[in-house]
Structure 1
Amino acid sequence: MRIAIAGSTGLVGRHVVREALAAGHDVLELSRQNGVDLTSPDGLAGRLEGVDAVVDVTQSPTLDETESTQFFTTVAGNLGDAAREAGVTRSVTLSIIGIDHVPDYGYYVAKLAQERTAIERGPAARILRAAQFLEFPGQMLDRNRDGDKVVIPELKTQPVAISEIARLLVRLADDRVPEAMVELAGPESGELTDFVRRVAEARGVEVEVIGVRASEGMADGACLPGQNAIIAGPGFTDWLATQA
């Protein structure tokens, strides 16, 4: 089958392209680097002619609630409308576990708006809510470090490998997983602050990791997977041991 991947050159998108090709599918890449502006509907339906499924792994350029909501809903709406016009039979959107229980964090509000738009306007919409990436604690260390301190939001999480996210997105796209809403997480849960400390230690970086209660839901476990979630891939401990 032919799968269009929106955001194909991003961190997740590159993995989805590889997984789709490995599964024997034909891939259409949709990204600015491929000359496609998904914030504009112009010509998008024509590009999707002959496509069977669309996978949306686009990433907002900002965490601001208003701006990211505008980006996500515009892209989801454009993709959904163009997919229906082109006769695409299935759409899949990558989202985040727990966003419907975190109304006090703007980016998650934006992701929830993206989900709703994808469901309303995309053909046979399916949503994959994933836990944070295994790489996320390291990203937070790099982004939030200020000298010998790093301030991190309190977050209970169960991080998952990006490769597992990509694999499940493709399985949703080609109908090997038929559910309309799926959660995916890794096997090891913990506090984000602890994961960040372990990354710093593994890197030989001496920093004080300070947790702040930025969101009640995130701190209280809203982003942990439910009992029906798919659990896959290495846990954080095993993954970190493989990192140089």
Structure 2
Amino acid sequence: MKIVVIGGSGLIGSYLVSKLGEHGHEAVPASPDTGVNTLTGEGLAEVLTGASVLIDVSNSPSFEAKAVMDFFETSTRNLLAAEAEAGVGHHVALSVVGTGRLPDSGYLEAKAAQEALIAKSSVPYSIVEATQFYEFVGRIADSATEDGVILVPDALIQPMAAEDVAAAVGRTAVGSPLNGKTEIGGPEEFRFGDLIQQHLSLSNDPRKVVVDPHGTYFGTELEERSLVPGEGATLSETTYAEWLKSH
């Protein structure tokens, strides 16, 4: 089966291309580096020729509200139009747990717009909403640092390994379209502050973690369970401690 992976050279995309190839599929990475530009439409018709599935794991280069909205709306419209023309039978998109219930986040508002465009299109689809990745815990800490103090929201978080995200997206892609959404997450819930503190302790990082009841995430305040998947979600097996040992 020919499967085109938009964003195939990124973190999740690279894992996807590898895993799909291991299972005998023709996994084709597509990105500006390979001559495919989803914002202009360049290269889409060519790369989608003969494709059965398109997986979109691309991300906006900017998280500024207008820029990220423009990216996801323009890119998704171009992908859906090209898929319909090429006869692609399954559009799979990676999204974020919490999309649709955190309207004050410009990034998640853009992801909600992306999901809406996909759901209204004529192309059969599956949307996989994932929790945060272990790989980004350090970046989260850095972005929340002010004068050596890391301000974190008073909420739960249930991260997972990027490789497990890719495996779940790949399984969805080779199955029948859901024409709906599914959630995936890690095997453990953490208090936000506890997760960041564990990261700091293992790296001998002297920064202090302070829980801020009004702390934000992607620009929005959180309720306790805003970032954790609901009942029926598929949970991965790799714990944070296990991931840390191998990284």
Cα deviations across residues 131-179 of structure 1 (Å, max 9, x unaligned)? Answer: 1111222221244445532333444211111111111111111116857
| TM score, norm. by length of structure 1 | 0.92
Equivalent position amino acid for 1:225 in 2: P
User: What are the equivalent positions in structure 2 for 1:199-210 lying under 5 Å apart?
Assistant: 199-210=199-210
> In the alignment, what sits opposite 1:72?
72
- 3-state DSSP of counterpart to 2:129: strand
Range with bigger deviation, 134-143 or 175-184: 175-184
1:236 to 216, 240, 245: 240
1:221 to 225, 237, 243: 225
Contact 1:6 1:55 in 2 (8 A): yes
> In the alignment, what sits opposite 2:163?
163
Contact 1:154 1:214 in 2 (8 A): no
> In the alignment, what sits opposite 1:186?
186
> In the alignment, what sits opposite 1:7?
7
Range with bigger deviation, 54-63 or 211-220: 211-220
Contact 2:92 2:126 in 1 (8 A): yes
> In the alignment, what sits opposite 2:115?
115
Give % identity: 29
Extract unaligned runs of 5+ from structure 1.
none
| Cα distance change, pair 205–217 in 1 and its aligned pair in 2 (3 A) | closer
Contact 1:133 1:161 in 2 (8 A): yes
CA distance in structure 1 between the aligned counterparts of 2:223 and 2:136, rounded to whole angstroms: 16
Extract unaligned runs of 5+ from structure 2.
none
Equivalent position amino acid for 2:216 in 1: A
CA distance in structure 2 between the aligned counterparts of 1:227 and 1:124, rounded to whole angstroms: 24
> In the alignment, what sits opposite 1:100?
100
CA distance in structure 1 between the aligned counterparts of 2:211 and 2:59, rounded to whole angstroms: 25
CA distance in structure 2 between the aligned counterparts of 1:78 and 1:191, rounded to whole angstroms: 39
- 3-state DSSP of counterpart to 1:220: coil
RMSD, aligned α-carbons:
2.0
CA distance in structure 2 between the aligned counterparts of 1:105 and 1:64, rounded to whole angstroms: 10
Q: CA deviation at 1:60?
A: 0.7
CA distance in structure 2 between the aligned counterparts of 1:168 and 1:234, rounded to whole angstroms: 13
CA distance in structure 2 between the aligned counterparts of 1:179 and 1:39, rounded to whole angstroms: 24
Equivalent position amino acid for 1:214 in 2: T
> In the alignment, what sits opposite 2:152?
152
Q: CA deviation at 1:210?
A: 2.8
Say how many residue pairs are matched. Answer: 243
CA distance in structure 2 between the aligned counterparts of 1:122 and 1:192, rounded to whole angstroms: 39
Equivalent position amino acid for 1:134 in 2: Y
- 3-state DSSP of counterpart to 1:238: helix
Contact 2:124 2:179 in 1 (8 A): no
Contact 2:125 2:178 in 1 (8 A): no
Equivalent position amino acid for 1:90 in 2: H
Contact 1:101 1:217 in 2 (8 A): no
| Cα distance change, pair 122–30 in 1 and its aligned pair in 2 (3 A) | farther
Cα deviations across residues 154-213 of structure 1 (Å, max 9, x unaligned)? Answer: 442111111111111111111168573111011100122221111011001110123342
> In the alignment, what sits opposite 2:56?
56
Contact 1:99 1:223 in 2 (8 A): no
Confirm or deny that 1:90 pairs with 2:90: yes
| Cα distance change, pair 52–170 in 1 and its aligned pair in 2 (3 A) | same
Equivalent position amino acid for 2:244 in 1: L
